[in-house]
Structures are given as structure tokens and as C-alpha cells.
Amino acid sequence: MRKKYLKISKRFFVASLVALITLGVSACGKDEVKETTTNAESESEEPDIVFATAVYDEKKGVVVRVTPGFTGDAKEVFVIKDADGNVVPITDAKVVADTNITFTLGEEMDLYGEYTINYGNVTHSILLPVLYSREEFEDAYTYEGEDLGATWTKDATAFKLWAPTATAVSINFYESGDESADDLISTFDMTADVNGTWKAIKNGNLDGTYYTYSVTVKGSTVEACDPYARATGVNGKRAMVIDLDATNPEGWEADTNPNAGINITDAILYELHIRDLSSDESSGITNTGKFIGLTETGTTTADGISTGLDYLKDLGITHLHILPMYDYGSVDESKLNNPQFNWGYDPVNYNVPEGSYSTDPSDGAVRVKEAKEMVMSLHNAGISVVMDVVYNHVYNAEEFCFNKIVPGYFSRISDYGVYSAGSGCGNDTASERNMVSKYIVDSVVYWANEYHIDGFRFDLAGLIDTDTLNKAIEKVHETHPDVIFYAEGWDMKTDVTKKGYTLATQSNSTLIPEMSFFNDYYRDTLKGGDNSKGYATGNPAGYNAVKNMIKGYVSWSKNPSQTINYASCHDGYTIFDKITSTNSSATMAEKIAMNKLSAAMVMTSQGTPFIMSGEEMLRSKVNADGSFSSNSYKSPDSVNSLKWSTLSDAAYMDVHDYYKGLIAFRKAHAGLRMMTADEVNANLTVMSDTPAKVVACHIKGGANGETSKGLFVIYNGTSSEATVTLPAGNWTIYINEEKAGTTALGTANATVNVAKVSAMVLVQE
């Protein structure tokens, strides 16, 4: 079987992927999904029958769906032919419900061949089963080498491409990275090599030379970018050979993770879009919307308040979570004089920095160099870098380079030619296939190695298999043990192409123990669901859930190391907009109290705290009509930008100072940062004698290295002041309704009065 498979698949393949339905996406998961249908070809202007689908099922035969109204003997009037025009015998035909016809064949079809079905003047291709996930294909064509892509030296560049279904491959060399430029230098043939790879060596120093691959499959040739491209020209259409060492900033060899050695629960995660940081005129940042905007120091508002990098350093965060910074498709890099915005959850080239964030997208080396300069500047400021990665889908599945080179391999496509679209973006990644899994692992490792990335946040990881993510974590940790991993673990509906694979959902968290997950249970308990209030936003009814939250417990994981606690992120209302929209009659002071309580809960619960950029300055996303935006993925800068000038308002600065104090306090007290359920159970007690709907816990001295004699944390989400009984001894207050930090605010013993809608934290010293 294997020998026959190899012989046939070298000549043919992929007839199974002549898709009837192809989906492309111009903006992920939001509102722009394109759908096109390929209809039957016909010489007749008015065919008396139109095919909807024609699919070969190995058990049933050829199953055809046609328009209603067919009558007659299907066995006699339909003809099935192979690629050479030979007729395939039909032994039986059954018509079901006037629209479905099943043909039993006199011989098996060659699954690697090409067939059509004819009715009069109407001809339609027959879809064959997708074979990529079968054991025979995976055994024959899994390549484990680490040399895919272009490997540069000053004397020659070696090219290696995985294209197992191709009959010919060549490299096209160009003078520029502009796809529209007619500047072909030469074409160079590649040679078939092991496990479906193709190789070539081109002598000379090719640094800065742009290239594409021309790949011929079943007689049709397509041109595509290199899936393993390290640099590209404008809009990522042409790859570029690059001397990566030449892009390293001075001192890069000594650059390291400034927070190496800490646990994930020690991290303070701060989520930021590159453009949001600098696009408001009050930022004082020169390089608006650029990587190097995060290298500028000394930037201030008109009133002299620090912004940008200096601000982040002063705030005290440990990790900056950057929304997608790889090359994505929704921004036209050739039109940067026209401000454009997108979150970037629409991947085009996974291993290339986004060109619109560079000062020159037409030069592939510039984006690489400037991304490294940004990382190094953040490291020098004591801030680690987390990269938001989106391996679960691509911008346009049909145009994605991997799918063009090996038609449909990267995506989950049914035997009927339909893309699985659990992502909401028109396509899902087939991570369970060996070479897709390898690609994801290779990509994550590359960013950790080449760009010194300190953490990865996986978008919609519930569409990716646990094996792939465990491999990525293991491989990265071999050389970078301090890199952290967390993800969205929502349970998505997707059509996995292999049996025996589990997906990286919250409910499967035990299968991927070094991955943390966003805790939506925490979020919704704290601030409420879509149209409701939560414990911190005016409805303390969920106080029993808060008792689990404070311990870092959730149904899918008892270990606080796996829970990412947050009130808001880029997707959804900001916490302040949520408070405002559900408490329309509240005063500004009352809304600020709710914001402070939500922040205090996030910062003093067990687990890892996550802050959306601008939360600490009461960030609001206001549309032109005055409504709040809950999905600003392509809204203008006026909606998305950080409004630095608001910090000139004393009320806004007061909230900023409160967040800064919470961060400092959390860093000073290891008892808030336990990693395991066993530690929590041994050291944290939720109090049973608190007033109604008030939650409090006592943390023992020494817990997780806690240097004090104990901590006492209180949340009061009610509308009344509460008197809470304290454990025996004298206690010092460090967090109350007004201030937070490492400076004492007062003392208490026996009992303490806690203001309405506030938190209080005391330390026994």
C-alpha cells in the first residue's frame, strides 16, 4: 500500500480539494466574511440541471446533489470519467428526494486522481476524500528538519520548501518586495528531496533579495510567498533573504528577559495595541503607531505627565502583552499616509513583523530591526514582552501561502470542500496534521529565539490541539525556561481531521499544565455578563462565587497558576464603559469606586492579574454617535487611542495612582501569588463570619515566601459600610477605598470598618 501510495501521489493528488465553497476573511471574526461558490461549467446557456455538489464517498459511491426536478434513468444519462477521459462504469443509481443521486460504481476510484461527472453538456468535478490526515500521507511526508525557508550565508543561500504534492518548484528572484513591480531578476529550479521537500542552493550574497516560489500541482502553477519567510516586502507578498544578525541592535547578544526566574503568578500583564499607545496627539510620541514609538523616552503630555515607555516603567508592570505584531492582512502597508486601524487578528506571514508598525514597509530588514529595538528597549526598562499569536486561522485561507503551495493542507476542509469555521473567521487551522503542528512549533520557537519574546498569548486556543501546544511549550522551555504561556480556552466548534486529538480548551487544562487560561468566570462574576452587573459593578449577589475567585479556584482548574484574572481586555467594553452603561444614574465618584474595587479584586486574588491598557486612566471607547464600542477592531484612532491628556484631571490621576499602588503592593507580598491548590488550601482561609455579601480571607505569614505575619483581604461590594472582624493582633492598613500601595494608611485591631463598594487589605507585621 505504501509503495503504491508514494508512486501515485507523486504524479497526482489534491483533486479532493477542488472546493465548491471557499471562504476568505478580510477582518477576523467580526463582520466581513466573503463567500463564493464555484458552479458547474456548461456549454449550454440554460442547462436543464445544475449540480450543487458531487462527492465520492468510499462506502457509498458518488453522491450528487442537483436542483429539483430531475426525472429519468440517472444510470443512463450521467457519465463519470477519469482525467484521461476513460468512462468509469456505473452499476446502479438511486434518486432520493428528487435532489440526491447516489451512483454505485463498478470499480474503485483512484483517490489521488481526478474525475468529472457529465450530464448532457454539463460537466462537474467530483470531490475526492481529503487525504492529508491519513496515516500514509503523514508517514511519507513528515519532514523533521530545521532548515525550511531560506538559510543565508554571505557566500550562498540554501532554500528548502515543503511541497509534497508538487511536480515542479522554482524560485523567482526580484529586485523589490512590491508585488506590482515588474522586476524579475531570474528564476531558479529546485530539486525534489526527502519527505516531500524541495531544495536549492544559490551562490552569492543574496541578503536583501526578494523571492517567491512557483509551485506546479496537477498541471496548474501558482506563485506564493515562503511560509517560512523571515522578512517580506510591502504587504507580505514577496519573501526576502535576510542576514538576521545584521538587524540586531547594539548589545542584542546580552539582551535577556528582565523578569527571568519569576512564576507566572508573579507577573503583572498589561495588554496594549502598538498604535493605541501613540496615536492620540497628547502622547508626545514622535513615531506614531510604530514599534520604535516604544523606544522613545522622555515623552510627556502638554502638562508634563510622562507617557509611553517611561509611563509603563513607572506603573510597575512586569509584562507588556502586545496585540498581534506579526504581518497581518487588514492594513495596506503601501498606504500608510492614510491612517488605518485593525487589531491584527488576521495572519498573513506568521514569522514576519507587521510592516505598518515599521518606518519603511518596503524594506524587509527595517521591520525586523525595529521590532528588535522595541523588545530591547522594553527589556532595558524592566518589562518583559508577551506576543499575541493567532495560529487558529488565517486572513484568507485560499490565498494563504501554505495553502497555495500544498492546496488546502493548512486548513480543516471537509470532503465536501467546506472550511470549518469555528473561529468565526471563515477557516480553522488543521493543527493536528504533522506539518501544520511543526509549523506552529517552529514559529513560536523562532520568535523566542530571534526576537527574545518572553511570553505567548494564544488566540482561540480551543481550536488548536493540546499536543501541538505542549510541544511548543516544551521546545521553547529547552532554551528559554522563563517564557510564559496563556490562552483563550473557549470551547469552539471545529471539525478536527484526525481522531484521538483533544483541543486546548479550559476543560482540558489538566492536559496542558504549563498553559494558563483567561478566566471568563472571574470576569463575569466581577463585572457582570453582557447586560448585567457583577460583584464590583453594583450587584453583590454573586459573593459566593467571589469566595472561589479569591482563592484562584475555578471549575476547570483548582491551581491558581492556570487562571488569568481580568476585568476587561481589548475585546468587549472597557471596565469603565461597562460600569457606566450598567449604572447610568451613578455619580462619577461612585463609578470610580466600582473601578477601584474591580482593580483591587484582580490584584489581590490568587492567580495572574491582567490589565487592559488604559484601565488605570478610566479608558473609554466612545463612538462618533456617543455610544460605547465593545468591538473596536477596526474603529479609528479617535475610539481606540489612549487619551493621555485625561491624566491632567485629578480624578483620573487618582485612579492611576491606585492601580500603581496595587501593583506595588502585590509585588511586595508573595502570599498573593501562590501557584498551587495545595498551597492555597494550606495557607488561605475564607472567613465565614463576615457581614452579608462581604468576602474576606486570611493568608498565613510565610505562605509562598510571604515575609509578613499574615494578610487580610476584604471585598465589600454592597452599598453599605461593613464592619469586619479581624484575626487577633494588630493590623496595618495598606489598601482602602481611597489609596493603595506600600505606605501604611492606618492601623486596626479586633474590627475594621470597610467603606461601601471598596476593598481593604491589611498586613500583620
CATH number for 264-668: choose from 3.30.9.30, 3.40.50.1860, 3.40.50.720, 3.20.20.80.
3.20.20.80
Amino acid identity, residue 19? A
Residue 52 CB burial class (10 angstroms; 0-12, 13-18, ≥19): middle
Amino acid letter for position 500: G
The mean per-residue pLDDT over the stretch 47-54 comes to: 75
Beta bridge partners of 100: 65, 96
Mean pLDDT of 13-29: 36
Contact present, 307 and 299 (Cβ < 8 Å): yes
How confident is the model at residue 30, as a pLDDT?
42
Rounded Cα distance, 136 and 138, in Å: 6
Residue 7 has pLDDT above 50, yes or no: no
Q: Averaged over 586-603, what is the pLDDT?
A: 98
In Å, how far are 325, 747, 762 from 744, measured between CA atoms?
41, 8, 9
Q: Which residues, at least 6 apart from 565, have a Cβ–Cβ distance to it below 8 Å?
A: 519, 522, 549, 552, 601, 602, 605, 607, 608, 609, 610
pLDDT at 20 over 80: no
User: Looking at residues 613-640, what average pLDDT do you find?
Assistant: 97
Q: Say yes or no to pLDDT of 757 above 90.
A: yes
Return the pLDDT at 28. Answer: 56
**pLDDT band, very low/low/confident/very high, at 39 (cuts 50, 70, 90):** very low
439: left (phi over 0), alpha (psi -120 to 50) or beta: alpha
| 558 phi and psi angles, rounded to 5 deg | -90, -10
Closest by Cα among 44, 123, 128, 121 to 80 = 123
Predicted pLDDT of residue 9: 32
Assess whether pLDDT exceeds 80 at residue 600: yes
- What does pTM read for this prediction? 0.92
Cβ atoms < 10 Å from Cβ of 199: 15
Check: CB of residue 187 under 8 Å from CB of residue 202: no
Average pLDDT on 439-453 reads: 98
Q: Where are the domains of the chain?
A: 2-125, 142-224, 264-668, 684-764
Residue 50: pLDDT band with limits 50, 70, 90: confident
pLDDT tens for each residue of 337-350: 888 999 999 999 99
SS3 at position 696: strand
Contact between residue 620 and residue 592 where contact means Cβ atoms under 8 Å apart:
no
> Using CA atoms, how far apart are residues 171 and 156, in angstroms rounded to an integer?
14
All residues at 6 or more sequence positions from 160 whose CB lies less than 8 Å from its CB, including other chains: 145, 147, 148, 149, 151, 193, 197, 198, 199
- Calculate mean pLDDT across residues 2-18: 32
pLDDT at residue 26 tops 50: no
Comparing 19-23, 90-94, 177-181, 323-327, the range with the smallest average pLDDT is 19-23
Q: Which CATH class is domain 142-224?
A: mainly beta
Amino acid (one-letter) located at 676: T
For residue 300, pLDDT over 50 is answered with yes
pLDDT at 48: 63
At residue 40, does pLDDT exceed 50? Answer: no
Positions marked active-site: 459, 488
Contact between residue 628 and residue 585 where contact means Cβ atoms under 8 Å apart: no
According to CATH, what is the number of the domain 2-125?
A: 2.60.40.1130
Whether 99 has a pLDDT exceeding 90, the answer reads no
Q: What is the pLDDT of residues 471-512, one digit of tens each?
A: 999 999 999 999 999 999 999 999 999 999 999 999 999 999
pLDDT on residue 43 = 40
Strand-pairing partners, residue 588, are none
Residues 619/632, Cβ–Cβ less than 8 Å = no
Q: What is the pLDDT of residues 461-472, one digit of tens each?
A: 999 999 999 999
What is the DSSP code (8-state) at residue 306?
Answer: B
CATH number (1.10.600.10, 2.60.40.1180, 2.40.50.140, 1.10.357.10) of 684-764 reads 2.60.40.1180
Name the residue with cell 483591587: 600
pLDDT interval class at 71 (50, 70, 90) = confident
Can you give the pLDDT at residue 37?
Answer: 33
Does pLDDT of 34 surpass 70?
no
Question: Mean pLDDT score of the chain, rounded to an integer?
Answer: 93
Contacts of the segment 684-693: beta carbons below 8 A, 24+ positions apart: 684/550, 684/551, 684/606, 686/547, 686/550, 686/551, 687/724, 687/725, 689/725, 690/714, 690/722, 690/724, 690/725, 691/718, 691/722, 691/723, 691/724, 692/718, 693/540, 693/541, 693/543, 693/717, 693/718
Task: Count the neighbouring beta carbons within 10 Å of the beta carbon of residue 1.
Answer: 6
Q: What is the pLDDT of residues 148-205, one digit of tens each?
A: 999 999 999 999 999 999 999 999 999 999 999 999 999 999 999 999 999 999 999 9
| H-assigned helices in 550-699 | 575-582, 588-604, 637-640, 650-668, 677-683
Q: Do domains 2-125 and 684-764 have the same CATH topology?
A: yes
Give the closest residue to 139 by CA, choosing from 466, 410, 360, 434.
434
Q: Quote the pLDDT of residue 164.
A: 97
